[in-house]
Chains A and B, each alone.
Chain A
Amino acid sequence: MTTTPVDLLSAQGLRITFPGRHGAAPARAVDGVDLDIRPGEIVALVGESGCGKTTLARSLLGLVPPTAGQVTFDGKPLDYGSRALKAYRKRVQLVLQDPSGSLNPRHTVYDAVAEGLRIHGYAGDERQAVHDALSRAGLRPPERFFLRYPHELSGGQRQRVVIAGALVLEPELIVADEPVASLDASVRGEILALLLRLREELGLSALVVTHDLGLAWNIADRVAVMYLGRIVETGDVEQILTAPRHPYTQALLSVLPEAPGEPVVLTGEPPDPSRVPSGCRFHARCQVLASGEAERAGVADLCRTKDLPVLAGGGETQVACHWATAKVAAPAS
C-alpha cells in the first residue's frame, strides 16, 4: 500500500443512461455520482433494488462504459481498451451475489480459483497461489477442497470459494455485490468477518453493494445511500446510521426490526429511472413533505421544483435534502 493521498478508485460526475426501447424515454440508471474509495477503506453502497447501485458498481469495474463523467483508478482515468481493462481487472475484482449461480457446476474448486490465474498468464506456482487464496478465504486445509465440486459445498463455503477466486490475483480492491444476501444468518457473520480480516491482513479496500444497513454497521467505514441514480446521503457509518438526516435514510432505518419508534413504511416502489421526478427526486415518496413538515420549514416549493446538487465523493458527511439543509441553517425553528 502506498502512502499517497490519492483515492484508489474514484468516480466523478458519473452518468449511465440506457436507451429506452420503442421510443421510450432513456433510463437514467446512474444520474450523476461522485464516489471515492481510499486505500484500505470499506465503503457500503446502500439502496433499494433498482436504485442503480449495481449499475454503478459495474461501471466502476469497467463493465459498463459511462455516458458521462469518468472513473479513475490510482489517479489515472480508466482506459477502456481491452488490454488495459484486463490489466485493470487484475487489480479490482468482483465478488458476485449468489455463489451458486456464479460458480460453474462442472469446475472443481481448484479450477474455479485458478481460472483467474490462467486468464492472466500467471507465471508463479499456480498450486501454491490457489492454496494460499483458499486458505485466506478460510477454507482449511485447502487441499481437502481442491477436487470438490460446488454442489458438494454449503452456501457459505461456496461464497468463500468465490472470494478465494477474487483474492488469488491479489487485487487492491474488491467490489462485492450483496455478498451475504443469499446466506444464512450464522454464515453471514463469518463471511463479513472474513472481509474485515482481509482488510487488516492485506490492506484490501472494498466497495460493498447491499440493501442491508446492518451489514454497513458491521463492516463499513463509510456509507453512501443511493436513491434513483444519485447518492442522497453519505458519510461516516456511525454518524449516518445513528443520526440520519435524509428522510429516505431515516425511513430505511425506521423499518428495521430493531428500530425504536414508529416505522415509516414508504408506500409504493422506487419510481422508474426513465421518469425521474423533477425537483428532489425523492419528493413523491417523502414522508417529511407529505406530513407538511417541509412546508413549515418553508422548503416545500424547493422540494417540488429544485434539483439538488451532486454530493462530493470524499469522506465528509453530506446530505442532498432541502429540508435537512434548511434545518441546519435555521436550527431555532
Chain B
Amino acid sequence: MSTTSIRKTPLLEVRDLTVTYAGGARAVRGVNLEVEAGRKLGIAGESGCGKSTLALALLRLLPAGTKVTGEILLNGEDVLAMKWGQVRAVRWAGASIVFQGAMHSLNAVHRIGDQIAEPILLHRRTTPAAARKRAGELLEQVGLPAARVDAYPHELSGGQRQRVMIAMALACDPGLIIADEPTTALDVMIQAQILRLIEELVSEQDLGLIMISHDLAVLSDTCDRLAVMYAGRVVEQGPASEVYENAHHPYSRALSGAFPRIGDPASRFAPQGLPGDPPDPSALPAGCTFHPRCALALDSCSTLDQELRDAGPGRQAACVLVGPEGAAAPVVPGAEEARSTS
C-alpha cells in the first residue's frame, strides 16, 4: 500500500471493516480495500467467506441488528456515518449492485422496462415517459433490443436476464458497480458475453467495479487486482494474474489449483480440491483461521494469528511462510509437494 507514489482519490476506500451478525457470526473481520475509477477489483473466496456480506455492507443492506464498524468512504464520504436519506440517495446513484441469480432478482410480474425505470423515477426528476425511453437506451447499451422493454422476465433467457440486471445497475449512472457472482449458473459462451459487456462498460464509462466470485480463473481474466478472502479477512491481494498464477498464501494456491488448465498434463485425471469446509464464522479456530485445512501449517499456526504482510511489489499475503522480502523461498518446494500429494 505504501509503494504507490501518485494516486487519485479512490472511488471507494474501505478501512478496517468488520461485520458481526446478530447471532454472533463474525462474517467480516477487518477488511481494507480500495477501488479507483476505471479499475476492476475481484474478490474471491468460498461460500461463507464473507464476500457477499462485504458487498451488502458497502451499501448498508444488512439486516437490522448487524454490527458494522470501520469506514466505507464512497467518494470520500463515509457511508456508515450517513443519514438514511443520504444512504438512499447513494444506492443506485453512487453505487449499485448486480446480484447473483438474475432469475430471482427480477420481479416476475412486472415488465422489465418498468423495473429498469423504477430507480430512475425515484432518483431523477423525470417523467415516466422519459424514464421508459431511458430504459430502452439502457437495454441497447447492454446489447438487447430497446423493444424488449415490454417483455416479462420469463420471456428472456438467463443471459438476457443478467443483461437486464446490468442495465438496471447502470440506470442512475453510478460511479461504482458491485457485481456479486454475475456469471454463476451461466453457460461458458453466455458468461464470456456478459464478462465482455461488463469490461466494455467499465472502460467506456470509467466506472469502478468490484466483482465477487468463487471463480478465481474468471476474476483473474477480468480484473486488475484480486483479493482472496478467507473467514472474513483478506488473506492475499495483488495484481490479478500474479495472484492467480503464483499465489503466496496456501489457501489462494489451493483455490487457483482447483481450476484445471486444459492442456496441462498435470491436471489431467487429477482434479484438485481443498479438503474440509470453511470455518463457522461464529466459532473461528484460534491462530491462523486457515491452519486446520492447511497442508503447510507449522505448530505455531494454531496459536499465532497472521496479519497481511508485504509479499513482493503491490502484493500482500497473510501467511507465516511469506517472508518480508517478498516471494518467500521456503514456500515453493513445500507448495509443489502439497499440490502433487493432495
Interface on A for B, CB 8 Å cutoff?
A: 48-49, 154-157, 181-182, 184-193, 196, 211-215, 217-219, 237-238, 241-242, 251-253, 255-259, 263, 265-267, 269
| CB-based contact A186/B255 at 8 Å | yes
Closest CB-CB distance, A171 to chain B, in whole Å?
A: 22
- Complex formed: what's the CA distance from A48 to B157 in Å? 12
Q: Decide yes or no: A186 and B158 within 8 Å by CB, A48-B189, A251-B189, A258-B262 being known contacts.
A: no
- A-B contacts counted at CB < 8 A amount to 111
List 24 A-B pairs, Cβ < 8 Å: A155-B47, A181-B185, A185-B259, A186-B274, A190-B271, A190-B274, A192-B271, A211-B187, A211-B188, A213-B188, A218-B260, A219-B271, A237-B268, A241-B262, A241-B263, A252-B189, A255-B189, A257-B217, A257-B221, A257-B259, A258-B221, A258-B259, A266-B189, A269-B160
Contact with B189, one of A181, A184, A219, A265 (Cβ below 8 angstroms): A265
Closest CB-CB distance, B156 to chain A, in whole Å?
A: 10
| CB-based contact A238/B157 at 8 Å | no
- In chain B between 173 and 214, which residues have their CB closer than 8 angstroms to a CB of chain A? 185, 187-193, 196, 214
* B159 lies within 8 A of chain A by Cβ: yes
Q: Which residues of B contact A157 (CB under 8 A)?
A: 277
| CB-based contact A193/B271 at 8 Å | yes
* B220 lies within 8 A of chain A by Cβ: yes
- Complex formed: what's the CA distance from A189 to B272 in Å? 5
Interface residues contributed by chain B, number (CB under 8 Å): 41
* B261 lies within 8 A of chain A by Cβ: yes
Closest CB-CB distance, A274 to chain B, in whole Å?
A: 15
| CB-based contact B258/A186 at 8 Å | yes
| CB-based contact B188/A252 at 8 Å | yes
Closest CB-CB distance, B251 to chain A, in whole Å?
A: 9
- Complex formed: what's the CA distance from A258 to B258 in Å? 13
| CB-based contact B277/A154 at 8 Å | yes
| CB-based contact A190/B273 at 8 Å | yes
- Complex formed: what's the CA distance from A240 to B190 in Å? 22
Q: Which residues of A contact B81 (CB under 8 A)?
A: none
Contact with B188, one of A156, A189, A238, A256 (Cβ below 8 angstroms): A256
| CB-based contact A217/B262 at 8 Å | yes
Closest CB-CB distance, B175 to chain A, in whole Å?
A: 27
Contact with A187, one of B217, B218, B273 (Cβ below 8 angstroms): B273
- Complex formed: what's the CA distance from A314 to B28 in Å? 53
Q: Decide yes or no: A265 and B46 within 8 Å by CB, A189-B271, A190-B273, A258-B217 being known contacts.
A: no
Q: Which residues of B contact A49 (CB under 8 A)?
A: 158, 187
| CB-based contact B187/A258 at 8 Å | no
Q: Which of A157, A184, A211, A215 has the most CB of B within 10 A?
A: A184
- Complex formed: what's the CA distance from A238 to B267 in Å? 12
Closest CB-CB distance, B254 to chain A, in whole Å?
A: 6
Interface on B for A, CB 8 Å cutoff?
A: 46-47, 157-160, 185, 187-193, 196, 214-218, 220-221, 254-255, 257-263, 267-275, 277
Q: Which residues of B contact A181 (CB under 8 A)?
A: 185
Q: Which residues of B contact A184 (CB under 8 A)?
A: 46-47, 214
The 10 closest A-B pairs by CB, nearest first: A189-B273, A190-B273, A192-B271, A255-B192, A257-B221, A186-B274, A185-B258, A214-B260, A257-B217, A218-B271
| CB-based contact B192/A269 at 8 Å | no
Q: Which residues of B contact A154 (CB under 8 A)?
A: 277
| CB-based contact B216/A185 at 8 Å | yes
| CB-based contact B188/A255 at 8 Å | yes
Closest CB-CB distance, B199 to chain A, in whole Å?
A: 11
Query: Please, which residue of chain A has its CB at the minimum distance from the CB of B158?
Result: A49
Q: Decide yes or no: A188 and B273 within 8 Å by CB, A256-B188, A257-B218 being known contacts.
A: yes
Query: Please, which residue of chain A has its CB at the minimum distance from the CB of B263?
Result: A242
Q: Decide yes or no: A217 and B192 within 8 Å by CB, A190-B275, A192-B271 being known contacts.
A: no
Closest CB-CB distance, B324 to chain A, in whole Å?
A: 29
- Complex formed: what's the CA distance from A49 to B161 in Å? 15
Closest CB-CB distance, B135 to chain A, in whole Å?
A: 22
Closest CB-CB distance, A332 to chain B, in whole Å?
A: 27
Q: Decide yes or no: A263 and B192 within 8 Å by CB, A218-B267, A218-B269 being known contacts.
A: yes
Closest CB-CB distance, B170 to chain A, in whole Å?
A: 21
- Complex formed: what's the CA distance from A189 to B341 in Å? 14
Q: Which residues of B contact A267 (CB under 8 A)?
A: 193
Q: Which residues of B contact A253 (CB under 8 A)?
A: 262
Query: Please, which residue of chain A has its CB at the minimum distance from the CB of B293?
Result: A186
- Complex formed: what's the CA distance from A267 to B163 in Å? 14
| CB-based contact A189/B221 at 8 Å | no
| CB-based contact A217/B267 at 8 Å | yes
Q: A186-B46, A218-B270, A242-B262 are in contact. List 16 more A-B contacts (CB 8 A).
A: A48-B188, A156-B277, A186-B274, A190-B274, A191-B273, A211-B187, A214-B259, A217-B267, A219-B271, A242-B263, A252-B188, A255-B191, A256-B217, A263-B192, A265-B192, A265-B193
Contact with B271, one of A48, A188, A251, A266 (Cβ below 8 angstroms): A188
- Complex formed: what's the CA distance from A186 to B158 in Å? 25
Closest CB-CB distance, B200 to chain A, in whole Å?
A: 12
Q: Which residues of B contact A255 (CB under 8 A)?
A: 188-189, 191-192
Q: Decide yes or no: A214 and B262 within 8 Å by CB, A185-B215, A185-B216, A189-B273 being known contacts.
A: yes
| CB-based contact B269/A196 at 8 Å | yes
Q: Which residues of A contact B263 (CB under 8 A)?
A: 217, 241-242
Closest CB-CB distance, A176 to chain B, in whole Å?
A: 14
Closest CB-CB distance, A285 to chain B, in whole Å?
A: 9
Q: Which residues of A contact B272 (CB under 8 A)?
A: 189
Contact with A269, one of B157, B257, B262 (Cβ below 8 angstroms): B157
| CB-based contact A256/B189 at 8 Å | no
- Complex formed: what's the CA distance from A17 to B191 in Å? 29
Closest CB-CB distance, A46 to chain B, in whole Å?
A: 9
Q: Which of A186, A187, A190, A211 has the most CB of B within 10 A?
A: A186
- Complex formed: what's the CA distance from A192 to B257 in Å? 14
- Complex formed: what's the CA distance from A267 to B189 in Å? 9
Closest CB-CB distance, A144 to chain B, in whole Å?
A: 14
- Complex formed: what's the CA distance from A187 to B271 in Å? 10
Query: Please, which residue of chain B has its CB at the minimum distance from the CB of A42?
Result: B269
